[in-house]
Structure 1
């Protein structure tokens, strides 16, 4: 389930926003933001730390540690509740709108008296925001899009894949220990590695269902039983996630797994093939349509084989041509996480990371990587206070550590900022000293489509830029991607030999699967990176790989599956 660290991170971030919107000390708000991030990425469980242990976390002082202990002890923090009470509930509602930060929410409340989403919509439709400093027509469009994102999230109840995976794996672990379990796994959109998940589907293979239904209902994080029966039980967890458990007879496992993995469109195609062969396919098996005799049901492989198909990996089961490719025996051999030889986009506490260089390197080595790149932010992201001297000193330390890690080579890189005109930090002679340069857009998201496209294309044409990081800049459910002509960007990447990143952070997954499919048609290469800002972020790689699989990528499409010699040739051969 959700780590205590993440709960505390959410609380402290909310407090930072409340302080800002109440017109409090900007330094105080920033301090709580920094503490929130530090706790969220801290490898140890904060619920097991005392006051001294909490103060050992970067950016956590005595006052913040005391609030964390109060929350862990009682479930609330008096200072947070007092600040909440001082702000109208409607204004707090404004803070839930993606794209609308606390400063703008405060201006709307003070200048226009806006204290609810409905009042904000009225103000936008009456064009009253345009008279406010810092607001304009583009701001209105962004706020309207943010409200749309918020309403979709509230109505659909979809959650990020990372949170869903944590919950599903814990439930699978618990149920697998129940006597009589012959198989247990998650299915549905989570097994297909979709970026957001609705309900979590759990399947169990067993002769008796009652022990598993009772076990699910009895879990400490089950808050509500929605429905309980012999074949299916649905509960809601303390975090609001709906979990649907189905228990299947062991001899129906393959058919049930295929059926409940979906997608609906994919299953329609497989059933159509079954009908064509005078068969009937259901969650219980594959049957003769006439006699009703069961043909097969125990494994997915047998189901697909009897339909004349190879086993189709779950991330491909979206009715995007996988059936036709399977019938032609042309399914790709998809990228696997075990194919990843290194991570090419990571950060340390030299800029906005949470762990020192040595800890990040040790954690990467523990993952069995052949190589690992450190890519801290460049100086144009001014809040990071990077200097030439700091970067060169880090390079020396990276070279020292490289000599000590003979099993894993270290690359010294940087994440450059793509400026408004497509320029990047540092002159050519300084950039030439890096092993790898990732370049990303971090600001000026609201430029025109033409300007944004030109900006990205110019970055691709820079001979020192090897990878475009999180290309659309989106944050799932919080910030839309930039409005650029990405077909032109993909063409530029293919022409210049610039790789596109698949950023594995669950809030980004950028590029998304549909954009990957488009970019692949241009012959673009990709880099699947964690963008880790702490040691706990390195395992996010699995979500980037899942997204790459949904985009039909093989390991040859992904530069960080290549041996280091081939990767170095790619990095050094740009025009």
Structure 2
């Protein structure tokens, strides 16, 4: 079953969308959106909370709490049901297209009768949008691009959705009597950004009990195919899950085979063939005698091929085989290497937890330092002022005195405007421990303008990290257009780190750009950009991107001791 917090949040977001379509009050719409974020990030299950505790959740006031109670009692929110009857389902479907707002979706339905994504794509192809008020060539191109993004997302899910489901399945199946090992494999083990199907592997000599436990899981909605070796199911989480059961002695070979990627496996099989061997999911066999040579662990399988064990995140046929043969595989950064987090938000702006709560979460992660970087004033909807920021600085100083186990850094997330300028003057910026600077608007600037914008931000002596650089939102918004090599050269020259933002719908920089930036001498920061307590757990996804980008601990500035980090920031101010 989905978590009650997530279902309630989804209904509140739908309510906000429906009100947007009908021209509802903008203040209420923002309130529902903020409450949805707060509910989704709240660590406690709202189904277990009394009404008085519901009202203590940030951004959940009396009226919204009653809507949550409505959901807990009936499984829905009455206002959502009422609005659904007034707004055609086709209009709601159109609002899923990135870049197509609710008012334009309603206009398309009323003007030309379009009520599905496919119908809209056909209408664009036939030129039916031309001449409609508010739908010029640029708008038409943006809608076409939005449809492409939506279709690319297709049946794939974000990595956190797949990981949560896989973790739950592995935990349950690991307790089944006779199961010796259980783990997820496939693209999830390789930490891809989006996941098609989840692959789970179990090792046991008696497959029947584990298959029965698998199909009896409460979120399984359909058994697609069943057997002793493989069972496939559909789930209420929107993902298909394939469970494969192998004998314990074949675990290593099966894990290597089903982790993939297909291209990586082709390379390993080629090595086996040249050595007179046959590699399959059951092991490495001698071709002439048929004798089993290795199968129990991945390390044994790779060793028999003359290779060291290759980390799953590198298995993409992107040079890892050659690096392994040459003894040049990197020692990849891990979650345990991280000493700090340089980007997070509190309820002073758009976070849903207090300063003290976020600090406790950072302590719980075992961090040595933690930066609070609430939004700056140019992101107007967050209503930040210099006075509020200075007051927060004093709170952080007082809190630092009470938390000797953690150094709290006072920072901010600045806004990079269309010309590359940021909030506040140099004197005010000099008072921060760390400044993250991000693009939050004007995403459609041309390539040259966007490149200049980033370069100028890098050249600011008080900008230490460029946050979520491409600004993409997976399945919703594509990356901005920039000459990334030029941006990375500027970052390397000025000593400006590029962020890997851990939010599952961002994972930005992407792994391919991480590798390009690393080759040009860029340093990186892996940050949660946490807006809630639950967001802290996203750190593993950002680390997965860093690993796919071949990063070592030394490439990542928040693995460094704090004195080295401060020296790095100070050196930039002197260099620029």
How far the C-alpha of 1:60 sits from its partner, in A, is: 1.8
Match of 1:34 in 2: 34
Match of 2:99 in 1: 99
Match of 2:568 in 1: 570
Instruction: Please list, as runs of the form range in 1=range in 2, the aligned pairs for 1:343-422 lying within 5 A after superposition.
Output: 343-422=341-420
How far the C-alpha of 1:137 sits from its partner, in A, is: 3.0
Of the three residues 464, 467, 472, the one matched with 1:466 is: 464
How far the C-alpha of 1:133 sits from its partner, in A, is: 6.5
How far the C-alpha of 1:124 sits from its partner, in A, is: 3.5
Aligned pair in 2 of structure 1 residues 277, 142: CA closer, same or farther (>3 Å)?
same
Match of 1:85 in 2: 85
Matched, 1:152 2:191: no
Match of 1:5 in 2: 5
Match of 1:518 in 2: 516
Do the aligned partners of 1:359 and 1:535 also contact (CA within 8 Å) in 2? yes
Do the aligned partners of 1:192 and 1:316 also contact (CA within 8 Å) in 2? yes
93-102 or 438-447: bigger deviation? 93-102
Do the aligned partners of 2:251 and 2:295 also contact (CA within 8 Å) in 1? yes
How far the C-alpha of 1:2 sits from its partner, in A, is: 3.9
SS at match of 2:316: coil
269-278 or 400-409: bigger deviation? 400-409
Matched, 1:247 2:251: no
Aligned pair in 2 of structure 1 residues 136, 460: CA closer, same or farther (>3 Å)?
farther
346-355 or 23-32: bigger deviation? 23-32
Do the aligned partners of 2:11 and 2:76 also contact (CA within 8 Å) in 1? no
SS at match of 1:421: coil
Do the aligned partners of 1:95 and 1:101 also contact (CA within 8 Å) in 2? yes
Do the aligned partners of 1:138 and 1:446 also contact (CA within 8 Å) in 2? no
In 1, the alpha carbon distance for the partners of 2:130 and 2:472 equals 25
Instruction: Please list, as runs of the form range in 1=range in 2, the aligned pairs for 1:254-273 lying within 5 A after superposition.
Output: 254-273=252-271
In 2, the alpha carbon distance for the partners of 1:17 and 1:38 equals 17
- 1:413-465, Cα deviation, whole Å (9 max, x unpaired): 00000001111000000000000000000001111111111111110111100
Match of 1:220 in 2: 218
How far the C-alpha of 1:48 sits from its partner, in A, is: 1.1
- 1:304-334, Cα deviation, whole Å (9 max, x unpaired): 0010000000000000000000000100000
Do the aligned partners of 1:2 and 1:167 also contact (CA within 8 Å) in 2? no
Do the aligned partners of 2:202 and 2:244 also contact (CA within 8 Å) in 1? yes
- 1:256-298, Cα deviation, whole Å (9 max, x unpaired): 0000000000000000000000000000000001110000100
In 1, the alpha carbon distance for the partners of 2:534 and 2:324 equals 37
Match of 1:59 in 2: 59
In 2, the alpha carbon distance for the partners of 1:128 and 1:233 equals 47
Aligned pair in 2 of structure 1 residues 253, 136: CA closer, same or farther (>3 Å)?
same
How far the C-alpha of 1:34 sits from its partner, in A, is: 1.6
SS at match of 2:35: helix
In 2, the alpha carbon distance for the partners of 1:396 and 1:25 equals 36
Do the aligned partners of 1:457 and 1:492 also contact (CA within 8 Å) in 2? yes
Do the aligned partners of 2:414 and 2:437 also contact (CA within 8 Å) in 1? yes
SS at match of 1:380: coil
TM-score w.r.t. structure 1 length?
0.97
Count of matched residue pairs:
573
- 1:16-43, Cα deviation, whole Å (9 max, x unpaired): 0011101222222222112111111112
Match of 2:504 in 1: 506
444-453 or 169-178: bigger deviation? 444-453
Q: Report the RMSD for the aligned CA atoms in angstroms.
A: 1.5
Aligned pair in 2 of structure 1 residues 241, 118: CA closer, same or farther (>3 Å)?
closer
In 2, the alpha carbon distance for the partners of 1:225 and 1:153 equals 24
485-494 or 25-34: bigger deviation? 25-34
How far the C-alpha of 1:401 sits from its partner, in A, is: 1.1
In 1, the alpha carbon distance for the partners of 2:312 and 2:200 equals 15
Match of 1:449 in 2: 447
SS at match of 2:221: strand
How far the C-alpha of 1:168 sits from its partner, in A, is: 0.4
Do the aligned partners of 1:161 and 1:194 also contact (CA within 8 Å) in 2? yes
In 2, the alpha carbon distance for the partners of 1:99 and 1:56 equals 34
SS at match of 1:368: coil
Matched, 1:281 2:279: yes
- 1:155-191, Cα deviation, whole Å (9 max, x unpaired): xx11001011100001000001110111010000010
How far the C-alpha of 1:231 sits from its partner, in A, is: 0.4
In 2, the alpha carbon distance for the partners of 1:111 and 1:96 equals 19
In 2, the alpha carbon distance for the partners of 1:520 and 1:257 equals 30
Do the aligned partners of 1:453 and 1:484 also contact (CA within 8 Å) in 2? yes
How far the C-alpha of 1:101 sits from its partner, in A, is: 2.4
- 1:521-568, Cα deviation, whole Å (9 max, x unpaired): 101000000000011111111110011000000000000000001000
In 2, the alpha carbon distance for the partners of 1:547 and 1:196 equals 12
Aligned pair in 2 of structure 1 residues 219, 118: CA closer, same or farther (>3 Å)?
closer
SS at match of 1:204: strand
515-524 or 236-245: bigger deviation? 236-245
525-534 or 81-90: bigger deviation? 81-90
Of the three residues 180, 183, 202, the one matched with 2:200 is: 202
How far the C-alpha of 1:119 sits from its partner, in A, is: 4.5
Matched, 1:303 2:323: no
Match of 2:18 in 1: 18
Match of 2:329 in 1: 331
Do the aligned partners of 2:252 and 2:297 also contact (CA within 8 Å) in 1? yes
- 1:357-378, Cα deviation, whole Å (9 max, x unpaired): 0110111011110100000000
In 2, the alpha carbon distance for the partners of 1:314 and 1:38 equals 34
In 1, the alpha carbon distance for the partners of 2:382 and 2:254 equals 51
Instruction: Please list, as runs of the form range in 1=range in 2, the aligned pairs for 1:530-569 lying within 5 A after superposition.
Output: 530-569=528-567
Matched, 1:182 2:185: no
